[in-house]
Amino acid sequence: MLLGPVLVLLLLGGAGPASAHAALASTDPADGTVLRRAPAHVTLTFSESVGLRDDSFRVLDPGGHRVHTGEAGRAGGRADTARVALPGELGEGTYTVAWRVVSADSHPVSGAFTFSVGRPSQATAPVDTGPTEDPLTAGLHKTARYLSYLAVALLVGTAAFVALCRPPDPAPLRRTLVAAWWTLLAATVALLALRAPYEAGTGPSAALDPAALGDTLTTRPGVLLLVRLGLLVPAALYLVHAARTARADRRGGRRTALTGAVGVVLAVGLALTWAAAEHASAGTQVPVAMTSSVLHLLATAVWLGGLAALLTTLRSARPAPDATTVARFSRTAFTAVTVLVVTGVYQSWRGLGSWQALTGTAYGRLLLAKVILVAVLLAAAAVSRRWTAALVTEPAAVREPARLPERVPQPAVGPPPEAPRPEAPRPTHPSRAGTGTGTGSVLRRGLYRSVLVEAVVAAVVLGVTTVLTATPPGRSAEEAARAAVPAGGVLPASVTTIPFEIGDSGSGTVQITLDPGRTGDNAVQAVVFGPDGSLAAVPELRLSFTLPDKQVGPIEADLRDRGGYWSANTVTLPLPGTWTMKATVRVSEIDQVSETRRIPVER
């Protein structure tokens, strides 16, 4: 029922704010650029602020050897840039720049590009640009993240179930609370140890390096993990106190509002350690996004963790939970689902951005899978609510055990009749309640099965959520595609090399860069190379574009000689399709040659 409205609201993200997971917006020098002289710096600009590492840059010469560079820093003090100084004695040839930074949402991003000094290398040696991601480290990190999500859901959800639903016997839930606390502790320690190799893209053995661990503790993700560990200590003390309060409450005591307030503060504190390290912590509307993320995580815990607590209570509690407990959880779960839908729509709007991103990006496809799973979960929850309603409206005579008939006085004649012996009650698990004939047993058995289905689907939803939080949002992917032209060059969104020959004058090539290689205004840069691969000066270079399928063109590019290369600030390609690009090179007053290439132009 909620699937349609959720998908409709996702469309509203088309004009929303930027989101997390930094994407590379530009490089200076631009990828593939041929420069007359070596640049003094290499500068990267990102869509979001990024964190720098000691090895954020690796510059490799044409032979694949590492070039000694300065320490990575910022350009103009801007947090969304990364810059490294180059030595002044760079020789001729093609250089490779491998980079690796950490997004503001704590996920590492990396890549590589090339530029040439003088002329491109004729034969470039294989270049090792460094690690991108170690599969074992990535697998362990994802497992620890999933276990941390699962543990906090069980911890917060079970505690909320005990406080809000007041089961008649909370004793079976103590084991769940203890297991969740220890699992969250172990997962957090594992995340802290794996942080350094995860950022560096190295094997898990690097977690044993004390220096790397020390560096981790100075970063924002490391500090947040330390805060989470610190919060687990008062959380344990609170659980012990809450257990004693629950026992006192069963003996007729009263719970204090202070106990509940402390529990809420601890839960919000734990949730903040996730929100401050994920997608909500970067981009615009950060305060709203952080609040939404905290509420989303807490609502998830109350619902999914509460499901596990209800399942345990239905299966293990003595006596069986009464209808009042089940009804309280039903109302609590409905409130949690409402919060989940509202915050989930906002987060999807912030991260997705458009209908195209829903199916055209990994983030969108994962989000679509999550929405479908949540719809299945809501359908199972609706079945559980029907069982709950039937249990609540069940006649009291069915819910309460039958009382023994009162003894009727007998006349004092003859031997007294033998008093009937009541049969000892037999405890029955709700999971085996169907063996009885009472209506209450049947209803509890149906409720148990529907809650079990909810819990299984919820575990899958939690797994998809874990992957989703580590996936670049669809809006970030679109921002990278729409990256602006950097100062001093253009991004090689479309690079085409056209060879040409003119009789005895020899052969050469023209390298044409069209940025961004999409419909609309494009910048053009063209470089002519002679037979020996060096830059060549020619009297004239003309460039035109034709779209034969739509009978559009030719559209002439107004190329100007810039002293070593040719460029045009703007050439407008109005339609997507496969365009024919024609280059005409004049090498003398009477000699010229024209060559064509077909290039794709996307919307």
Shortest CA distance to 468 belongs to which of 362, 374, 353? 362
Distance CA 76, CA 28 (A): 14
Shortest CA distance to 395 belongs to which of 434, 343, 439, 451? 439
Worst-scoring range by mean pLDDT, 30-39, 503-512, 576-585?
503-512
Which residue(s) pair with 278 in the sheet?
none
Indicate whether 123 pLDDT > 80.
no
Whether the CB-CB separation of 383 and 449 falls below 8 Å is answered with: no
Tell me what pLDDT residue 443 has: 66
**What is the Cα 156 distance to its own chain's centre?**
22
- pLDDT tens, residue by residue, 459-487: 787 777 766 666 666 555 555 544 433 43
Indicate whether 505 pLDDT > 70.
no
Tell me what pLDDT residue 157 has: 92
Distance CA 344, CA 10 (A): 10
Distance CA 239, CA 155 (A): 10
Q: Work out the average pLDDT over 369-373.
A: 80
Helices (H) and strands (E) in the chain, counts: 14, 17
Out of 45-54, 174-183, 421-430, the most confident range is 174-183
Indicate whether 186 pLDDT > 90.
yes
Tell me the percentage of the chain whose pLDDT exceeds 90: 10
Tell me what pLDDT residue 144 has: 92
Tell me what pLDDT residue 233 has: 94
pLDDT mean across residues, the chain: 74
Q: CATH second-level architecture of 19-129?
A: Sandwich (2.60)
Q: What DSSP designation does 160 have?
A: H
Indicate whether 439 pLDDT > 70.
no
For domain 494-601, give its CATH number from 2.60.40.1930, 1.20.200.10, 2.30.22.10, 3.30.1360.120: 2.60.40.1930
Indicate whether 26 pLDDT > 70.
yes
Tell me what pLDDT residue 265 has: 93
What is the identity of the amino acid at 355? W
Tell me what pLDDT residue 185 has: 96
Tell me what pLDDT residue 152 has: 93
Q: Work out the average pLDDT over 230-244.
A: 88
Tell me what pLDDT residue 403 has: 45
- pLDDT tens, residue by residue, 223-233: 999 999 999 99
- pLDDT tens, residue by residue, 322-366: 678 878 888 888 888 888 888 877 777 776 666 666 666 667 777
- pLDDT tens, residue by residue, 211-225: 888 888 888 888 999
Q: Look at strands 33-35 and 108-117 and give their pairing.
A: parallel
Tokens of 375: 């719809």
- pLDDT tens, residue by residue, 278-324: 766 666 677 888 888 899 899 989 988 888 888 888 777 555 566 78
